[in-house]
Structure 1
Amino acid sequence: MDKIDHNILRILQADASKPIAEIARLVNLSQTPCWNRIRKMEAEGIIKGRVALVDSRKVGLGLTAFVAVEAINHTREWAANFRRLVQSMPEVMDSYRMAGDIDYLLRVVVPDMQAYDDFYNRLIEGASPKNVTSRFSMEVLSSRTVLPF
């Protein structure tokens, strides 16, 4: 990747709906080489997809929970089962395997506390974790989608 690729990525991260002609103009390329660079970055998995960013609260998903999970054991079987479970739960927006005092951290988006309780019960039944600790967001102070490279 070179400086032009980085510039293309900055533009796409800010607005993936920009026409190729506009992107090419902004990075001083003609359209075909610009499009080829984008396709190459997609093929290499650098660009994972193009999406519309949606305000969760405006579509009825007003509760965000950060859920810390401690595994009951650290076998590959438990971890694989947990991975399958969280990947099958549409409420889980992000999931991370962590270092430190918790094993996994999930960002969960649901309409309300009842929906969270339903999610929580499915998580407990499906994974049987040692411990689950939830924290609820009161306000989003900062949210970025543009990587700082």
Structure 2
Amino acid sequence: MTLDEIDHRLLDLVQADAARPLHELGDAIGLSPSAVQRRLTRLRAAGVIRAEVAVLDPETLGAGMTSVILVALIDDDEKHHTGFRERMLAEHRVQHCYSIVGHWDYVVVLLTPDLKANRHLSRRLFDKHVKRFETLPAFEVIKSSQAVPVPGVSRGSGR
């Protein structure tokens, strides 16, 4: 699918606020609400827009501790990797899980209420086929975003 400059600007706007009304989106990019709706429908159908979600405040919901965990598995047995990935996918407190290259096999981001809950969950998640893991509790969230850089759209410090 080929995306033009208007698509890029529209994507940048909806990833900042997917609930923004069509007429406001149209005013911002110079299109009618119906033209905006057609573009959004096309972008959803093509899979460019994968989901539209509400971003919740973790602390308000009792998940105020974010931690980054580095994980190394015992060996490169594909069954161990498959099992690990399935555990990560099944656990709702796992926010992100990345397979990486280097001394570690995975980076996992967990949201838990506190250190005690983090330890308990880590023991359960990282007990099978894990050689070692290192937990790095976040002291302060400086930036947390799912926003994807959109070609041709520059986000300044004012956003």
Using the TM superposition, give the Cα deviation of residue 60 of structure 1 relative to its aligned residue in structure 2, in angstroms: 1.3
Structure 1 distance, partners of 2:22, 2:43, is 14
Q: Report Cα offsets for 1:12-54 as digits up to 9, x if no partner.
A: 1111110112212221112222112111211222111111212
1:13-52 superposed matches below 5 A: 13-52=15-54
Higher alpha-carbon deviation: 91-100 or 74-83:
74-83
Higher helix share: 1
Considering only aligned residues, what root-mean-square deviation do their CA atoms show, in Å? 1.4
Amino acid at match of 1:77: K
| Residue of structure 1 in register with 2:142 after alignment | 141
C-alpha separation in 2, matches of 1:84 and 1:103: 15
Equivalent residues, number? 148
Secondary structure of the residue aligned to 1:56 is coil
Match of 1:110 in 2: 112
CA shift at 1:5, angstroms? Answer: 0.6
Percent identity, aligned pairs only, is: 28
Q: Which residue pairs with 1:92 in the alignment? A: 94
Matched with 2:129 is 128
Q: Distance in 2 between matches of 1:82 and 1:145?
A: 24
Query: Residue 9 of structure 1 corresponds to which residue in structure 2?
Result: 11
Instruction: Say if 2:80 and 2:129, in contact at 8 Å, map to a contact too.
Output: no
User: Residue 71 of structure 1 aligns with which residue?
Assistant: 73
Query: Structure 2 length normalisation: TM-score?
Result: 0.86
Moved over 4 A (4+): none
- The equivalent of 2:156 in structure 1 is none
Q: Where in structure 1 are there 5+ consecutive unaligned residues? A: none
Could you list the runs of 5+ residues in structure 2 that have no partner in the other structure? 151-159
Letter paired with 1:68: L
TM-score, reference length from structure 1: 0.92
Match of 2:82 in 1: 80
